[in-house]
Amino acid sequence: MIIDSHAHIYSYDNIDKIVEDAKRSGVETIISISTDLESSNKNIVISEKYKEVFCSVGIHPCDCVNHKISDLDKIEQLSFNSNNKAIGEIGLDFFYTKDDKKIQYEFLDYQIDIANKRNLPFVVHARDSYNELIDFLKTKDLKTECVIHCFTGDKLLAKQFLDFGCYISFTGIVTFKKSTELRDVAAFIPNDKIMVETDSPYLSPHPNRGKTNYPSNLIYIAECISEAKKFNFQTFCKNLKENTVKFYRL
């Protein structure tokens, strides 16, 4: 039994079925990650309804422009809910534009401060911004742990994040046929610092690539990485679960 460390359960209409299908496939717990104030509120409600679901609250870098800094006070208040286990996903995303860099940094800075103050781990989104993120993290007094979600960087970048004490999480991208280098990176990550996630409904792994993703697909990602590591699958799944439980303090 393993844990989907990063999914967006609020995106689905049929949550009952999603949770049951996940359990049948060996996924016993799902962490539903928020991207804005609306999804943060939804995730609190969902996590209170389903014992298999916990959540994070936070504002995604691409959603910062749709919020005010004062909205982060509301995020902080939501973080007190006992089913909330992290701040996130937060970070930097310069894929579409760099025009809003200033506000992205401001929201990231404030939300890391919330994580520090609340003694909660935080979940980091980074796209076309790994080096900028590393430089920023060097300026912060990190008092809690973080995970770099949907990692697609190389070993050098991975080592720099590991040196910060970060966890590294992999999505279905690692299963794609052309992701040979990424599988090598996954094999490089120490077994006590790795997590897996579906990021569902996005990034469905092979053999379901191109279709809507679900937490039940997590098994394909775990199998792929255990093969890359040449590591016993059952033992690897045990490690994954231990890491996720430790990180989210489940």
Per-domain residue ranges for the chain? Answer: 2-248
CA pseudo-torsion sign 101, 104, 108, 110: positive
Q: What is the pLDDT of residue 97?
A: 78
- SS3 label, residue 123: strand
Q: What's the whole-model pTM score?
A: 0.97
pLDDT tens column, 110-121 = 999 999 999 999
Q: What is the pLDDT of residue 118?
A: 97
User: What is the total residue count of the chain?
Assistant: 250
Domain 2-248 has CATH 3.40.50.300: no
Mean pLDDT, rounded, for 161-171: 96
Contact in structure between 147 and 168 (CB atoms under 8 Å): yes
Mean pLDDT, rounded, for 168-177: 98
**Taking 90 as the threshold, does the pLDDT of residue 99 lie above it?**
no
Q: Number of helices and strands (H, E) in the chain?
A: 9, 8
**Taking 90 as the threshold, does the pLDDT of residue 73 lie above it?**
yes
Alpha-carbon Rg for the chain, nearest whole angstrom, is: 17
Contact in structure between 91 and 64 (CB atoms under 8 Å): no
**Taking 90 as the threshold, does the pLDDT of residue 14 lie above it?**
yes
Comparing CA positions, the residue from 25, 77, 14 lying closest to residue 50 is: 14
